[in-house]
Chains A and B, each alone.
Chain A
Amino acid sequence: MTLLAVERMKLFTTRSPWWCAVLALAVTVGFAALMAGTASAESPITIAATQFGYGFGLMVVMVMAALAITTEYRFSTIRATFQAIPNRTAALLAKTTVVALLAAVIGEIAAFGSWGIATVIEPTADLAINTPFEWRAIAGIGAVYGFAAVIAVSVGVLVRHSAGAISVLLIWTSLLENLIMLIPRVGRDIHQWLPFNVAHQFVTGDPDPSARAIQDGPGLSDAVLSPWPALAYFAGFAVVLLVIALTVANKRDA
């Protein structure tokens, strides 16, 4: 608990988490407002459509999570950290936990905020959260952000440079996973198992077809797992990366 408190103090006494949190919330909720404001009778706002901005928030949260660790390397405060807490695994796990929790909270606020603003703007639209899909589409975003933050911290530990870690994360999630799909024959099979595509399956997968047209929400995932195993797969990927990162950090000179 002490270590968690320490990492919480460290995180909130710098500026980038605040910036990132504000930016992630503003853009996701703003996007939902835009969607609700521009909805019409022929394309009414749906729960899925309120969450259009979630991919943007995901990027910002991953940048925040990566910076939380890479700035420690940049300013060598990682050495002060390991001096105060020589058990590196414990120190880094505490940081990962705090960053992941913050990311999850940002995700929940972003998701429910987006949904909330849409219900305010379009009070007549059917935005009641009824089905498991609808709950996952909103509440599930916090879980995706949380595990994505674990991945980002792990990449940050491995790469140690802000620029490098951010580039790897953003290019991987927003470009490389999609580019791989374009490889003939095998591309689609590989893509089905790429982590962020699978995470997307958790949020968008298994929709109620009567309530949702494809164009009314974030594009669907082509992952073959059903939603909850998809989340487990994504979490498993995050844990594997984290274990690699912790092992490397323990071996390496600080």
Chain B
Amino acid sequence: MKKRVVALFTAAAMLVSMFAIGTVVSAEEEEKDIPYVAVSLPPAENAWQANFAEMIDKKMAEAQEEGVLTYSLKSSQDAADQMNVIQTFKDDPDLDFLVVLPVDGAQLTATVEEVYDSGIQVIVLDRDISSDKKTAFVAGDNYGCGVAAAEFIQDYFKDQDEVKYVNLRSYAGTEIDLSRFNGFNDIISKDPKFVNLGEADGEFNSTAGFEAMSNLLAANDQIDFVYTHDDETTTGALTAIEQAGRDDIQLITGMGGTVTALREIAEGTGPHKMTAAYFPADMAEIAIKAILTYAETGEIEKELLFESYPITKDNVEEFQDKAYE
């Protein structure tokens, strides 16, 4: 009798353990299905980046709430710090995806390659690395932003014989600066009626935009338009123009899509009549979609370049809800 009880108890215990083990295994399997994503960002050095950090955090949190992924997010001060952060992420055995917006794509190439080689899927955002060892590259079309601005400018001055302009760049020589510069220059430089008077660095902010523009104004008596690479730079340049009391500037274009820029374009009373934008919220959404698509199908397009929008008075209202500050 005793033996029977012991045997029954043992059998019951085994059943319970098997069930428990089964539950753990299936829970693990279930958890394994949900991708774990690490997000590494640069410092929020301007309004666009600050808004992007906010947007990707918000959208990742929403996705986590829906139970489709789990994530961890970390911003870095510089390229060296970002390298350390990525190495730390890589050492986590549960990591499935690394989403990285590099401080500097070239500097982070070796680190990102190492992560990719270890079997983790890597989504590079906005600033590309100098290697093919990545799952996908998601970026706004900076070259297209330059093209859009140039086409708008060409159309705006179609009836003028000679057009003098200045260029406010943003951290001259960086990848974004060169893309925006080349997109604009490849079109404008082919048209001999456009005369480049000079350039200065607006550094993606209004104070530098103000100082750069005030120097350009002092050096040039007649400027027809100002091409800037950034909306905050445009804000500073407009203040300098207003302060100098200059009324020769007919047009200033920007890039980015800030609340101030869209308001000025909507008002239509000043020279700020156009900006070219790709919005932080769009990029965050595309990055998350890319992760979920790959997690489900194991396939993804290698390069996801999304369109930039030329924003003028005609269509500005469509973008008001995406504007950032």
A binds B: no
B interface residues (Cβ-Cβ under 8 A, vs A): none
